[in-house]
Amino acid sequence: MNPSIPLLQKFGYRFSWVGMIGLTVIVFWGIVALIAPHIIPHPVGEIVDEDYFGAMSSRFWLGSDYLGRDMLSRVLMGARYTVGISLAAVSIACFSGVVLGMTAAVIGGWFDAALSRFLDAMNSIPGKLSGLVVVAAVGSSITVLIVTLAVIYTPGAYRFARALAVNINTMDYITVARTRGEGIFYIIGSEILPNIIGPVLADFGLRFVFIVLLLSGLSFLGLGVQPPFADWGALVHENVGGLPFGAPAVIVPSLAIASLTISVNLLIDNLPKKIRDRSA
Amino acid sequence: MENLVEIRDLKVEATTDSGRCVDIIKGVSLDIAAGEIVALIGESGSGKTTIALTLMGYTRSRCRISGGSVRIAGKDMVTFSERERAGIRGTKVAYVPQSAAAAFNPTKRIIDQVIEVTRIHELMPVEQAKEKAIELFRALSLPDPDTIGKRYPHQVSGGQLQRLSAAMALIGAPKLVIFDEPTTALDVTTQIEVLRAFKSVMKAGGISGVYVSHDLAVVAQIADRIVVLRNGEVQEVGTTTDILSRARHPYTRQLLAAFEPRPRGDEIVVTGREVLLEVNGLVAGYGPLQADQLPLIRAVKDVSLTVRKGRNLGIIGESGCGKSTLARTIAGILPPSTGNMIFENRKLAGTVRQRSRDQLREMQIVFQYADTALNPEKSIEEILGRPLTFYHGMKGKKRDTRIEQLLDMVHLPRSLRHRRPQELSGGQKQRVNFARALAAEPKLIICDEITSALDTVVAAAIIDLLKELQRDLSLSYIFISHDLSVVEAICDEIVVMYGGRKVEEITPADLKAPQHPYSKLLFSSVPKLDPQWLDSLKLDPELIRTYGHG
Amino acid sequence: RATSALAATPKSGGHLKAAGWSASTADTLDPAKASLSTDYVRCCALYNRLTFLDKSGVTRMELAERVESSDAKVWTVKLRSGVTFHDGKTLSSQDVVFSLMRHLNPDVGSKVNSIAKQITSVRAIDPLTAEITLANPNADLPTILAMHHFMIVQDGTTDFSKGIGTGAFKLESFEPGVKSVAVKNPNYFKSGGAHIDSFEYFAISDDNARVNALLSGDIQLAASIKPRSMKLVESQPGFALSQTTSGNYTNLNMRLDMEPGSKADFVAGMKNLINREQIQKSVMRGLAELANDQPVSPASIYYNAELKPKAFDPEKAKFHFQKAGLVGQSIPVIASDAATSSVDMATLVQQAGAEIGMKFDVQRVPSDGYWSNYWLKAPVHFGNINPRPTPDILFSLLYSSDAPWNESKFKSTKFDGMLVEARGLLDQAKRKAIYDEMQVMISEQAGTVIPVFLSNVDALSAKLKGLEANPLGGQMGYAFAEYVWLDG
Amino acid sequence: MSRYVLDLIAVRLLIAALTLLIVSFAVFFATAMLPGDTATILLGQAATPEAIAGLRSAMHLDDPAYLRFLRWLGGLASGDLGTSYVNNVPVAQLIGGRFVNTMRLAGITAMFAVPLALTLGITAAMFRGSLYDRSVTILTIGVISIPEFMVATAAVLVFSVYLKWLPALSFANDVTSVWQLLKVYAMPVISLTFVVAAQMIRMTRAAVIDTLSTPYVETALLKGASRPRIILRHALPNAVGPIVNAIALSLSYLVGGVIIVETIFNYPGIAKLMVDGVATRDLPLIQSCAMIFCVGYLSLITLADIVAILANPRLR
Ligand SMILES: Nc1ncnc2c1ncn2[C@@H]1O[C@H](COP(=O)(O)OP(=O)(O)OP(=O)(O)O)[C@@H](O)[C@H]1O
Ligand SMILES: Nc1ncnc2c1ncn2[C@@H]1O[C@H](COP(=O)(O)OP(=O)(O)OP(=O)(O)O)[C@@H](O)[C@H]1O
Ligand SMILES: [Mg+2]
Ligand SMILES: [Mg+2]
Ligand code: NI
């Protein structure tokens, strides 16, 4: 059996240690994102090292980057952008995708058909390309990035949620709610959503990874957060020249990304479960 | 060692969500002789399926055998390794599941699934296995035995599928076959055919059987001995005749009593005879509209009926005759193609959307499957509370009180309010389902087969409840069922449907003498508690040819 | 290291694979339209110019035998005889007329249209003599003709996809945005012709990928690598670097006709705030020479060595900003990957500004469309200027009042007058005196900060010999294919 | 194939045409939003107003954009993809070879990634909750969360620069033997597999687990069937629908989403072509590439639906 956390058990929840680890890492990065400006040892833009791609040392815990800037400071500040932008974008994408998907499933008919075709059309254009076009057209700012990433990933979330909701929509309890005369918002919010939330969250986790990746992909194509700041993906990219030397400047942000995405998925796969006893 | 099966002090425990262990079978002992058929009966959740499955050395996930022994032909299934058990499954002991429809893999042809046992255990060459399967199909009086195997599960009827799953169990020539409620989901006319087929095949092969059911009348036709279970314990064991005629245990008596038909007495004080609902020339169905503005599949064809205040209308007919479709049309879920409805002297629009909130409130529908009619993610409190808030704007304390009243009304403990549907038994779920309809304070409740999935005790309790509530709240019911005794017990008028049409309308007084031939067939197919009933039953072959569906 | 191979005798044969850094479907073999270095390299392999610049910046004759004038206004070009195009046709003065005049036709979309405008007519005098008439005297014409765009193509050519020229290589295949393959031209007019048998050229836009392709042996030359990749190349045996400091620079422009550049103190402050040493050391890792806010590079004979770079002096900068009343105000600075290293430079300025209370809002914009949308337009932005062979071209393109690319909108009638005066002078010493003064004027008055001249580093396999630096740019002024050979 | 499937294909074709139309309009508006046009971009730093005007008229870019777009759309109806603004080459010719390259890379990656992902997904489901299952989950997430360019660059460093086993570049046209094909494609395929496998693994695992709890799987178990038999014969055929859907979605990424891999391995495919098109505002090229991506996506999705239907006798 799964070892679980006794404290939560008291409140009627079971929470596996794997999920706990995930949560801890996420909370850690969340806190870092919040307090980063106050704890960074050097300003992110300042060149403090004579050398570049410096190794870890007591002065620069995580070495220095391609310009000789302090990597620790840059990674800590990068958390703000990666965590902030990705989380915001994935939340918007999943929220709108799921709401639209459920609505389409419930309303059906031409609304469903039109929306599905439209979003299919959007989905068929590769994300990096639409990102490229949008950012080239309206410039790069945090808001633009969030909205663009969200728009790119909405159709996918829609497709996924709609498929789930269509199944739920055939259940009798939805019919019951309808014959009661309930409105669409009650039906999607209170009847359908609780039944698809599990897979939707799992999808959220995967989509989060994709958004972090796309963000770094955009920085590869020269778009993204404004200097001197950089998200982790951009940090990896700008320092990828240090790879042959095994520079921490490229390894550390990669690890940071992996730690965050893995944790989000571990947490989602191991969310606290309410303990329900059939015979209790 | 003369008994084929010897179960000694069997204990099965389950691990609950919180990691607690609960005993679900508490020391059951049981013998089955070679060639004997033993029935396990008892209410839902009494452990019938669990015991039956231990005979194959199998328990559902999160359960395990915690003590005792299950010996089959001298070998203890409990101590066997998983590999040894697999060797016995299908060859020595075989299982006919409760719902054949779910037990067949929808993507594979029937014949491949039927002969799979022979391939797994390498019993015989494929060709030979197929021939044997066809023989079995014939023995089980399946139509087109040579070709039926080439079909997919969804291409045959429920009754046929149930017999096919028996063939699947019999192909490995097992010594013991376990039938888990094989006829519960079938209508009476089909049930007879299936029971007959089972009985003759078992007799012919001298096979032992375990027959799990909640229906005493069915069990009476097929079993040599009956084991009565409750809460994972054996209450009483005896030969079929003994149990039926000389039951000692009070619970057994209760089961028997519940089976006694209790026709609707005249104790109901009917205040008026005004018309509540009038339905005229209703046509409804599924699929795209045809040139004549009617749907492709017409499930309800020109049905008219009247429900009066304080009186109940029963609708019976075989599976697929359009009962549910009619109910859904009246409830506004499925818009009618033609015909009109008048409710409380006002015209009733075809769809829910066009009906007023009051009209919706005054007519409630209770679905057949409580499992799918209750949202698994909501607590009982939320389920019952929503119509209260929605129709009556109740909140907070007032709503809580009312929820408790409703739970009292349907005889459910108040402590249940925080549970979720999957934590309730079938009967409890159906009561919640019904309480939700009551919460709206309706004038008419359409009950679509609400007792079909329940055991007789619980079903009888629900019928009593309906009657009681009708007295207190002056309701009317439309009561849909394939089970004649239930309809008889509660309805003032009965409509018999066949193939989407209303073939006859009868009052309980004429019950014993229906006019329409189909009604006659239907009425005569209801099993009796008499063990000889099935063997002595002679149905008009002409009727069967016209209305049966082999 | 590249120079050590010079003494060796060239070997014939072999297939050379080399990679530049940018390519797109816009790749062209039309010299007039050439815009990317890849285009230059291909054109140099396929065509010839009338003149070219050698490694020390001296103008030499190529297709022309002589380019002469008595007044610097009417020039006579005498062509070499017996030069044939790849398709067998003989080069004639008519081809020269066509090749030069097409730059004046707006339909051609020539990149040197504005320079070509000083040509009023080109006439064929006889099959091997052409006469070029200029609007105003310009003693630099022979050098101007050495620009890559003025390659000689065949008279009447409209379809350039065949790449028919007089060059050392004949085109075998060309896919825009993918690659080109050319084989040695056996009838090349220069004795000996090219050393290598065939030449494959393409672009790898990712810097690390380009270096890795070289190190793995897939290519023999990776053009223009980043300073940071040098360490890796140096650490591997069998590879060499070739460094060229030409006149290429990335500059910060402050438009003098707009806030905040219209405040003289802002411009002065910025010139003090830019840390040239740090740019040279940290951003360019030493691959740069300090510059002094004017465009003539130290490699040029006209370079004013007296003019010293301004010192990094935040206090003085602060004084100027305070005087301009700009402290505390947020000033947008536009940078882009399109202008080499501009983002890093901007970050340095931003950091230095932060220390004296100046807030610079660095906006990195996409490279895509940078030149048409931001460059010359934004109040404070970065530019990147490729080397030009003469001060006259630089000044008239970038600093005269009517210059098409007057980045800071610098206007001075005195400057304009001096430009015209120097242009007509055939006496080099007199011109240098005038150019010296003009360099001082730009450095003091224009709204441009030119912190450093960027070096170009090409990485190559040690087997590739004969590559020399050239003031026109990396890859031997883009013309290496004709001169290099493969050893072993 | 039954009438149902044929009907479905017919309807899908109609819908596809409609979707393509929507996409082309969307792409048109997006392109129109981009600053600058082909003339200004081509001239770059040399873009003086007269030069721009001249080039524009020479390239016939004077007409309003929507007119040019409608003309292109008209041409498309007759199968003509138009002519590139930038180099006057028919778009079909520009795309031709690169399209083949893209399909080849996608095909080889699919041949490699799909079986791998299915095996991992199915085995993870089989041993659900085990250490193996957990490692597969963490590894797949870990692997996709490392940026593509990092994976690709690291692979090149190791296999090309240090070990010198594989070429750093993948020019598709140099291939003459199978061995060479393997060598040339090894690294791009590995990098792409990293990217696309995760989603397929997760979906496969989830779908198989879903079917493992069905009564017919229990029936098979009670027939004495072995674990592999249960998974392969009973669970898998019923999980085909969601699995092929996930495969289709992942593969559609291989058609248009591989810019980074194309860039790093200098592989001439259409993703890079479209980026070029965007950079030069080459409307016919952009549109044609978008059409290809859209057709690729739609055919994959439709194919997935058809496979799902064929796998389910109830829908056949
Ligand atoms: N995994 C489990 N955890 C806890 N309790 C369980 C679990 N599985 C079954 N039970 C309990 O075991 C008891 C016996 O269940 P079983 O399925 O054998 O009943 P049954 O008599 O076949 O009922 P039915 O007529 O509804 O099929 C029930 O009370 C049920 O609640
Ligand atoms: N959604 C649907 N689409 C097409 N046909 C349907 C649909 N639902 C039911 N039918 C068909 O309509 C007919 C009547 O079905 P209905 O559900 O009303 O039967 P029923 O009398 O309630 O049967 P049962 O006793 O099995 O519940 C059947 O032949 C059925 O196959
Ligand atoms: Mg059971
Ligand atoms: Mg029904
Ligand atoms: Ni029944």
Question: Three-state SS for A187?
Answer: helix
Q: Of the given ranges (A267-276, B521-530, D212-221), which has the lowest mean pLDDT?
A: A267-276
DSSP C226-260: -GGGHHHHHHSTTEEEEEEEEEEEEEEEE-TTSTT
DSSP letter (8 states) at residue D235: I
What mean pLDDT is predicted for residues C442-461? 91
Task: Give me the amino acid identity at B402.
Answer: R
Residue given tokens 């290809």 in the structure block: D292
Could you say which of B361, B372, B422 has the minimum Cβ distance to residue A173?
Answer: B372
Q: pLDDT higher for C382 or B265?
A: C382
Pairwise CA distance, residues D285 & C143, whole Å: 39
Q: Give the mutation candidate from B80, B107, B177 for the D interface (greatest D CB count, under 10 A).
A: B107
Pairwise CA distance, residues C33 & C106, whole Å: 12
For the record, the structure tokens of C41 come out as 């390299």
* Chain-chain contact of A136 with C231 (C-beta, under 8 angstroms): no
Q: pLDDT higher for A261 or B158?
A: A261
Q: Does the pLDDT of residue C77 top 90, yes or no?
A: yes
Pairwise CA distance, residues B533 & C1, whole Å: 109
For the record, the structure tokens of C238 come out as 């069998």
Could you say which of D15, D27, D255 has the minimum Cβ distance to residue A117?
Answer: D15
A126 CB-near residues (< 8 Å, 6+ apart) = D253, D255, D256, D257, D259, D271, D293
Give the model confidence (pLDDT) of B507-529 as tens digits: 766 666 777 888 888 878 877 77
Question: Three-state SS for B71?
Answer: strand
> Number of H helices and number of E strands within chain B?
22, 20
For the record, the structure tokens of A70 come out as 């302090």
Q: What percent of chain D has pLDDT over 90?
A: 5
Q: Does the pLDDT of residue C2 top 50, yes or no?
A: no
Q: Please list every residue in chain D whose beta carbon sits closer than 8 Å to the beta carbon of residue A223.
A: none
Q: Which of residues 427-486 of C touch A (CB under 8 A)?
A: none
Q: How far is A195 from chain B (nearest CA, A)?
A: 6
For the record, the structure tokens of D182 come out as 């393997």
Alpha helices in C204-341 (DSSP H): 207-215, 230-235, 264-273, 276-278, 314-324
DSSP letter (8 states) at residue D162: I
Q: Which of residues 286-315 of D touch C (CB under 8 A)?
A: none
Q: Of the given ranges (B368-377, C313-322, D105-114), which has the lowest mean pLDDT?
A: B368-377
Q: Does the pLDDT of residue D315 top 80, yes or no?
A: no
Pairwise CA distance, residues B263 & C406, whole Å: 105
**pLDDT-based confidence at B505, cuts 50/70/90?**
confident
Q: Give the mutation candidate from D11, D209, D219, D221 for the B interface (greatest B CB count, under 10 A).
A: D219
Q: Please list every residue in chain A whose beta carbon sits closer than 8 Å to the beta carbon of residue B378.
A: 190, 194
Pairwise CA distance, residues D115 & D119, whole Å: 6
Give the model confidence (pLDDT) of B254-283 as tens digits: 888 877 666 555 545 455 568 889 999 999
Question: Three-state SS for C338?
Answer: coil
Give the model confidence (pLDDT) of C193-238 as tens digits: 889 999 999 988 888 889 989 998 889 999 888 888 888 888 888 8
DSSP B368-393: S-HHHHS-TTS-HHHHHHHHHHHHH-
| Average pLDDT taken over every residue of chain D | 83
What mean pLDDT is predicted for residues D309-315? 77
What mean pLDDT is predicted for residues A161-168? 86
Domains and CATH numbers, chain B: 1-92+175-183+195-259 (3.40.50.300), 275-511 (3.40.50.300)
**pLDDT-based confidence at A280, cuts 50/70/90?**
very low
Return the pLDDT at A171.
82
Pairwise CA distance, residues C83 & B206, whole Å: 109
Q: pLDDT higher for B173 or A278?
A: B173
Instruction: Ligand 1, residue B48: give the atom nearest the CA.
Output: 21
For the record, the structure tokens of A118 come out as 């439209």
Give the model confidence (pLDDT) of C150-192 as tens digits: 999 999 888 898 999 999 999 999 988 888 999 999 989 888 7
- Which runs of E-coded beta strand occur in B232-389? 233-239, 275-289, 295-308, 313-316, 338-343, 346-348, 363-366
Q: Does the pLDDT of residue A2 top 50, yes or no?
A: no
Residue B154: closest C-alpha in chain D? D314
Return the pLDDT at D33.
77
Give the model confidence (pLDDT) of C9-22 as tens digits: 788 888 999 998 88
DSSP letter (8 states) at residue B101: H
Give the model confidence (pLDDT) of B189-223 as tens digits: 778 878 888 888 888 888 899 999 877 888 888 89
Pairwise CA distance, residues C445 & C442, whole Å: 5
What mean pLDDT is predicted for residues A180-204? 88
Considering every ligand atom shown, identify the ligand nearest to the alpha carbon of residue B456 and give its number.
5
Q: Does the pLDDT of residue C281 top 90, yes or no?
A: no
Contact C208, A220 (CB under 8 A): no
Considering every ligand atom shown, identify the ligand nearest to the alpha carbon of residue B215 and give its number.
5
Q: Please list every residue in chain C whose beta carbon sits closer than 8 Å to the beta carbon of residue D264.
A: 206, 209
Question: Three-state SS for C124?
Answer: strand
Return the pLDDT at B1.
47
| Average pLDDT taken over every residue of chain A | 83
Q: Which residues of B touch A (CB under 8 A)?
A: 15-20, 22, 331-333, 352, 355, 357, 360-361, 364-365, 367, 369, 372-378, 386-387, 390-391, 419-420, 422-423, 436, 440
- Please tell me if residue D210 touches chain A, with a CB cutoff of 8 Å: no
**pLDDT-based confidence at D49, cuts 50/70/90?**
confident
What mean pLDDT is predicted for residues C359-363? 88
Q: Please list every residue in chain B whose beta carbon sits closer than 8 Å to the beta carbon of residue D313.
A: 106-107, 152, 154-155
Q: Of the given ranges (B114-118, B276-280, C294-298, D170-174), which has the lowest mean pLDDT?
A: D170-174
Question: Nearest Cα to B449, choosing from B495, B484, B421, B473?
Answer: B484
Contact B194, B162 (CB under 8 A): yes
Task: Give me the amino acid identity at C46.
Answer: L
Contact D293, D20 (CB under 8 A): no
Return the pLDDT at C80.
92
Q: How are beta strands B275-289 and B338-343 bridged, if at all?
A: antiparallel
Give the model confidence (pLDDT) of C26-72 as tens digits: 888 999 988 788 899 999 999 999 998 888 878 899 999 999 998 88
Return the pLDDT at B45.
77
Best probe residue, ligand 2, of B191, B283, B286 (max atoms within 8 Å of C-beta): B286
Q: Which of residues 248-277 of A touch B (CB under 8 A)?
A: 273, 275-277
Return the pLDDT at C253.
93
CATH number of D91-309: 1.10.3720.10
For the record, the structure tokens of D29 come out as 């508006």
Q: Which fold has domain A14-272?
A: MetI-like fold (1.10.3720)
DSSP letter (8 states) at residue C147: S
Q: Using CB atoms within 10 A of its CB, is residue D214 exposed (0-12), middle (13-18) or buried (19+)?
A: middle
Q: Of the given ranges (B91-100, B419-428, C258-267), which has the lowest mean pLDDT?
A: B419-428
Residue B549: CB atoms within 10 A of its CB come to 16
Secondary structure element (H or E) that encloses residue C148, with its range: none
Secondary structure element (H or E) that encloses residue B497, with its range: strand B493-498
Question: Three-state SS for A13?
Answer: strand
Give phi and psi for A142, each to the nearest 5: -60, -45
Q: How far is D138 from chain B (nearest CA, A)?
A: 25
**pLDDT-based confidence at A61, cuts 50/70/90?**
confident
Q: Where are the domains of chain D?
A: 91-309
Pairwise CA distance, residues B434 & B449, whole Å: 12
Q: What share of chain B is helix, strand, coil (3-state, %, to 5)?
A: 40, 25, 35
| Average pLDDT taken over every residue of chain C | 88
* Chain-chain contact of C24 with D276 (C-beta, under 8 angstroms): yes
Return the pLDDT at D113.
92
Q: Of the given ranges (B389-398, B508-517, C175-184, C252-261), which has the lowest mean pLDDT?
A: B508-517
For the record, the structure tokens of C229 come out as 């990749």
Q: How are beta strands B37-42 and B225-230 bridged, if at all?
A: parallel
**pLDDT-based confidence at C357, cuts 50/70/90?**
confident
* Chain-chain contact of D145 with A262 (C-beta, under 8 angstroms): yes
Inter-CA distances, D161 with A248, C451, D265, Å: 20, 36, 13
**pLDDT-based confidence at A12, cuts 50/70/90?**
low
B125 CB-near residues (< 8 Å, 6+ apart) = none
Give the model confidence (pLDDT) of C92-112 as tens digits: 999 999 999 999 988 888 888
Give phi and psi for B396, each to the nearest 5: 50, -130
Give the model confidence (pLDDT) of D1-19 as tens digits: 567 778 878 888 888 888 8
**pLDDT-based confidence at D316, cuts 50/70/90?**
low
Return the pLDDT at C165.
92
Q: How far is B241 from chain A (nearest CA, A)?
A: 35
Return the pLDDT at A278.
44
Q: Give the mutation candidate from B105, B151, B170 for the D interface (greatest D CB count, under 10 A).
A: B105
- pTM (2 d.p.): 0.81
